[in-house]
Amino acid sequence: MTHYRKLSTALLWLVLAVWPAPGVAQVVLEKRVALLVGNWSYTPSALKNPENDLADMARLLKERLRFDEVIVEANTDPARLKAAVRKFGSSLEQAAGRAPGKVLALFYYTGHGVQSEGRNFLVPVGRRFDSEDDIESDAVDVQFVLDRMRRAGGGLNVIVLDACRDFPLRRRSKSDTRGLARIQPPQGSLIAYATEADATADDNPGERNGLFTKHLLRRLLQADLDLDQAFDQVSTDVYREANQRNRRQVPEIMKKTWPPEPVYLLASRAAPVPAPPPIPPVDDFPPGKVFRDCPECPPMVVIPAGEFVMGSPAGEEGRDEDEGPQHKLRIGGRFALGRHEVT
97-119 confidence digits (pLDDT tens) = 999 999 999 999 999 988 888 88
pLDDT at 8 over 60: no
- Torsions phi, psi of 318, nearest 5? 80, 10
pLDDT at 199 over 80: no
Asked whether residue 3 carries a pLDDT value surpassing 70, the answer given is no
Averaged pLDDT for residues 203-225: 90
Residue 15, pLDDT > 80, answer no
Does residue 213 or residue 135 have the better pLDDT? Answer: 213
Calculate mean pLDDT across residues 194-201.
76
331: β partners = 306
Alpha carbons 96 and 90: distance in angstroms, whole number: 10
Rounded to whole angstroms, the Cα distance separating 216 from 222 reads 10
Cis peptide upstream of residue 325 (ω within 30 degrees of 0): yes
Q: Beta strand pairing status for 103-116 and 140-141?
A: unpaired
Residue 11: band (very low, low, confident or very high) from pLDDT cuts 50, 70, 90: very low
Q: What distance in Å separates the CA atoms of residue 269 and residue 109, rounded to the nearest whole number?
A: 26
Q: What is the pLDDT of residue 298?
A: 82
- Supply the pLDDT for residue 178: 59
Query: Of the given ranges (6-20, 97-111, 181-195, 260-274), which has the lowest mean pLDDT?
Result: 6-20
Round to whole Å and give the CA distance between 132 and 137: 9
pLDDT value at position 82?
95
Give the DSSP letter string of 145-179: HHHHHHHH--EEEEEEEEEEE----SB--S----S
Backbone phi and psi for residue 233, each to the nearest 5 degrees, phi listed first:
-70, -35
Percent of the chain with pLDDT over 90: 39
Cα–Cα distance measured from residue 331 to residue 339, given in angstroms and rounded to the nearest whole number:
18
For residue 5, pLDDT beyond 50: no
Q: Return phi, psi of residue 337, to 5°.
A: -130, 145
Please give the C-alpha separations between residue 213 and each of 60, 108, 137, in angstroms, as whole numbers: 12, 10, 29
pLDDT tens, residue by residue, 146-168: 999 999 887 899 999 998 665 65
| Ranges of H-type helices in 220-326 | 227-244
**Where does the pLDDT of residue 198 fall: very low under 50, low under 70, confident under 90, or very high at 90 and above?**
low
Tell me, what's the pLDDT at 218? 95
pLDDT at 294: 73
Mean pLDDT, rounded, for 69-73: 97
State the average pLDDT over residues 205-215: 91
Q: Is the pLDDT of residue 279 over 80?
A: no
In terms of average pLDDT, the best of 142-146, 312-316, 333-337 is 142-146
Q: Is the pLDDT confidence value at 179 over 70?
A: no
Q: What is the mean pLDDT of residues 37-41?
A: 95
Q: Which band of pLDDT confidence, cut at 50, 70 and 90, is reported for residue 243?
A: confident
